[in-house]
Structure 1
Amino acid sequence: MPRRSWVHRVSKGWAAATLTAVAPSLFFWVIWTLTGDYGSRSYLSMSSGSCLGWDIYDQISPWAYPVKAVPLFSYGGAPLIVLGFAGWYLSVRRGRAGLGRIIGRCVAVVLLVLDLPLFLLPTLDAALGPACEAMWGPPELLSRQIGWGLYDCLPPILVLLAVRAPRRAFVRRGPVVRTAAAVLAVTAVVLVPAASASPGKVSTERELDCAGFGDGTVKGLSETDKRFLCAVRGYDRPYDSGVEGWDEVSDQDVVAQGRQLCALATRHGGDIHARAVQEAPQASLANMLAGLCPAVTRARQAEAGRQQAEEDAYVAKKERACAAHPRHRPKIRPVRQRRATLWAEFWTIGGEEDGYEGDPPELVENLVGTGRGTLAIWAADEIGHACVTVESYTRRPPLETGGWEEVVEVGYESPTGSLQLYGVDGPVLKDLITRGPGSYRVRVHLRGRKLVYQVAYPPDGAVELLVQVFPGTAKRPVAYK
């Protein structure tokens, strides 16, 4: 081959290597210019265990990244390739073609040392199995990693081809070489376009229509996928920022990771607390899986049903204990008498009339307190239940102190005549007032307080209350016992 033609061919090889190296940067620059989105996305890897490829990558990345940050290696190594071409050209001009080949090979080796691990290491872990593959993130991210790693190896390979020694005669390559070249070409055709595809969109709350106002513009996602993304990003929780580490991960990657975690949870009966689920790289998504994963939804419904059954059985047991107490036999016939098991939170059960809700009144003798349209009665040691009997009268009933530990009577002003008594759980006892708005007296009888304070786990139905409401104009509280 004439010397001039050979130099021209090699120069085109160097130019091809330079353009190949700088092409991705130009591509994303054009994308950024047109859309304002450079396409950069981050992914938080939360993994456990050990995989060969990832372990090697973890060891070499602390020194590899600072080296690649040197301007000489920017733009895919294009400055180094240009510098190597200048050294090769000067060597050839001075008749030292061998030195030029050494310079070219050194450039190629340096770039391959920096770029080849980014292709080989994730490929190795992908071959070792799903657990190691997950160390590198979602499948889409792994594909891009392998694709770009392979693409980054093309410029140094083009340099090596460009500086190879010229042959005087055509030599037909063997079948192994031809097969290897074909495989590399096909791999590049398949993986590089996938790697250069858009890294994915991170949709806004409005685009996902998390509020349900019909503003959603996102295409290609099911309603289930959208609800899952709303939960992960915290769009459906006014005071929650979502799952940490996933706010900049693309919609497709988040959904893909959620479905992988769903498959793992399904194999464990929908239990997101299973060890395999909690140790998965994307375990932080587990609490958001219910809307995306039917198995998790069914497991949660079953657990909620079990807890509700336990709660119902617990309440029923307390109610049976209260029902076992003998009924109060009043001295005179009341207008109404009702019994109920009421549950207290923060010591008291409450009474109120429509439009008079507010802070509970201060208790007299730590038992009963009233305000205009409001009533409060001690019923438990902070949290618990009481067996309550309520009696409404049209006149003052006879005083009863026998069998009761405490008896206190207070005045009550009814603005509407609609007083009702209630706890944090249990029925609401209505119509305590018999003669409409006006002045009344409320007499409260109690037994069981001493037992509650003395015993860590008092028996069911330990606290009994008898509440009598009757007309009366007196305002002064009276403690009878």
Structure 2
Amino acid sequence: MPRRSWVHRVSKGWAAATLTAVAPSLFFWVIWTLTGDYGSRSYLSMSSGSCLGWDIYDQVSPWAYPVKAVPLFSYGGAPLIVLGFAGWYLSVRRGRAGLGRIIGRCVAVVLLVLDLPLFLLPTLDAALGPACEAMWGPPELLSRQIGWGLYDCLPPILVLLAVRAPRHAYIRRGPVVRTAAGVLAVTAVVLLPAASAPPGKVSAQWELGCPGFGDDTVPRVNAAEKDFLCAVRDHDHRYGSGLERWDGVSDQDVLAQGRHLCALATRHGGDTGARAVQEAPQASLAIVLPSLCPAVASARQSEEDRWQAESDASVAREERACAAHPRHRPKIRPVRQRRATLWTAFWTIEGWEDGYEGNPPDLVKDLVGSGRGALAIWAADEAGSACVTVESYTRRPPLEVRGWDEVVEVGYESPTGSLQLGGGEGPTLKGLTVRGAGSYRVRVHLRGRKLVYQVAYPPDGAVELLVQVFPGKAKKPVVYR
């Protein structure tokens, strides 16, 4: 082959390598110019366990990414290729074609060292099985990772082909070979960058028709899938703060990962607490999985039913224990006497009047406290129940201290005459202030506190309270026992 023709052919090879390297950046620049969307999307990738490809990538990436951030390696390594071409051309002009080939091969090797792992490592883990494949994220993301890594290897391969030693005789390739090469080149330059474009639609809340938003205009999404997407994207407030890290993941990928996790949970009886489910890369979707996965929904419902049955049984035991206590026999007849089992999760049961709910008052002797329209009575060591008897009088009842461990009386100002007493669970006892708005005294009798503090699990009905409410203008609290 004449020297001039050989140089021209090699130059075209360098030009093809440069164009291939810079093509993705040009493609996305055109997309951004036309649509204002650069095509970037965020993915949540979580990993557990150990896989060879991912472990190597984890070790290599800390130094590979800073190197690739050098301007010489930007635009797919195009600046390095152009610099290598200049070195090759000058070497050939000076009659040192061998040095030019060395320069070209060095450029190719550097780019392959940086880019080949991005193709080989995920391909290796994909071959090792689903568990290792999942380390790289959703299947669609893994496919794009492998395709993109393969594409990045094309420029250095073109450089190697360009600087190979010239043949003494030109061998014309057949039409089939030339056509296949052309198709592969077009596919690499056009289709692979397009595959890295926005991977799918991320539907807005009004499109999904999430509770309180829009009218459900997203096609090909059934009710279960819509509820699942709404929950993932934090549009369903039943799940609190939601799963914000999945917000940028396309509907298609979110649903695919949800179905994958559903299949895994189904194999474990719908139990999202199973170790295999908890260690899955998509494990953060487990909290919203019932809307998409019947097996998980059934398991959750069974768990809720079991918990409710246990709670109902506990309530029934407490009520039977309280009912077994002898009724209080007052020394004078009250206007009303009521008994109830009341529960609390924050130490006290509360008394309040409409419009005066707020912070509970401080307790006197850690038993009873009062404020205008507010009352608080100790009932449990943080969480528990108490057997409560409430008596309302039109006049002061005789003092009773026998049989009670503690007796404290405080003043109470009723702004509306509608004082009611209740806990976190159980009935609400109303009509405690029989003379309407005005000044009252509240006398509280307690027994069982010592037992509650002495044992971790006190017996049912351990705490008994007698609350007497009667008119009185005195404000100062009185401790009788």
Distance 1:475 1:159 in 2: 96
Q: How much does 1:329 deviate?
A: 3.2
Decide whether the 8 Å contact of 1:147 with 1:188 is kept in 2.
Answer: no
Alignment of 1:447-466 (within 5 A): 447-466=447-466
Q: How much does 1:310 deviate?
A: 1.8
Alignment of 1:80-479 (within 5 A): 80-90=80-90, 100-101=100-101, 103-164=103-164, 165-166=166-167, 168=169, 170=171, 188=188, 192=192, 195-200=195-200, 212-214=212-214, 228=228, 231-232=231-232, 243=243, 246=246, 249-363=249-363, 366-394=366-394, 397=397, 399-471=399-471
- CA-atom RMSD, angstroms? 4.1
| Unmatched runs of 5 consecutive residues or more in structure 2 | none
SS of residue paired to 1:446: strand
Moved more, 241-250 or 369-378: 241-250
Sequence identity (%): 83
Corresponding residue for residue 75 of structure 2: 75
Q: 1:181 to 1:466 in 2, by over 3 A?
A: same
Moved more, 141-150 or 334-343: 334-343
SS of residue paired to 2:50: coil
Q: 1:217 to 1:397 in 2, by over 3 A?
A: same
Moved more, 246-255 or 341-350: 246-255
Q: 1:172 to 1:321 in 2, by over 3 A?
A: same
Distance 1:24 1:190 in 2: 8
Distance 1:169 1:372 in 2: 104
Decide whether the 8 Å contact of 1:6 with 1:166 is kept in 2.
Answer: no
SS of residue paired to 1:28: helix
SS of residue paired to 1:458: coil
Q: How much does 1:323 deviate?
A: 0.6
Corresponding residue for residue 24 of structure 1: 24
Decide whether the 8 Å contact of 2:24 with 2:193 is kept in 1.
Answer: no
SS of residue paired to 2:377: strand
Distance 2:171 2:70 in 1: 41
| Unmatched runs of 5 consecutive residues or more in structure 1 | none
Q: 1:341 to 1:67 in 2, by over 3 A?
A: closer
Distance 1:362 1:120 in 2: 68
Distance 1:364 1:181 in 2: 91
Q: 1:376 to 1:186 in 2, by over 3 A?
A: same
Q: 1:378 to 1:180 in 2, by over 3 A?
A: same
SS of residue paired to 2:421: strand
Number of positions where the alignment pairs a residue of Structure 1 with one of Structure 2? 479
Q: How much does 1:317 deviate?
A: 1.2
The superposition leaves residues 403-461 of structure 1 with CA deviations (integer Å, 9 ceiling, x where unpaired) of 33444555544443322221222111122233444455544433334444455543321
Decide whether the 8 Å contact of 2:373 with 2:415 is kept in 1.
Answer: yes
Distance 1:385 1:263 in 2: 43
Distance 2:439 2:75 in 1: 88
Decide whether the 8 Å contact of 1:118 with 1:149 is kept in 2.
Answer: yes
SS of residue paired to 1:79: helix
Decide whether the 8 Å contact of 2:23 with 2:189 is kept in 1.
Answer: no
The superposition leaves residues 129-166 of structure 1 with CA deviations (integer Å, 9 ceiling, x where unpaired) of 11121222221221111111222222233334444533
Amino acid aligned to 1:56: I
Distance 1:358 1:94 in 2: 91
The superposition leaves residues 16-46 of structure 1 with CA deviations (integer Å, 9 ceiling, x where unpaired) of 2221221111111222333333333454543
SS of residue paired to 2:307: helix
Distance 1:66 1:399 in 2: 83
Decide whether the 8 Å contact of 1:143 with 1:195 is kept in 2.
Answer: no
Amino acid aligned to 1:166: R
Amino acid aligned to 2:29: W
Distance 2:230 2:94 in 1: 67
Moved more, 139-148 or 86-95: 86-95
Q: 1:219 to 1:18 in 2, by over 3 A?
A: farther
SS of residue paired to 1:377: strand
Structure 1 moving runs of 4+ over 6 Å:
177-187, 203-209, 215-220, 237-241
Q: How much does 1:260 deviate?
A: 2.6
The superposition leaves residues 222-272 of structure 1 with CA deviations (integer Å, 9 ceiling, x where unpaired) of 665565555555566699765575565555444433333333222222322
Distance 2:463 2:66 in 1: 73
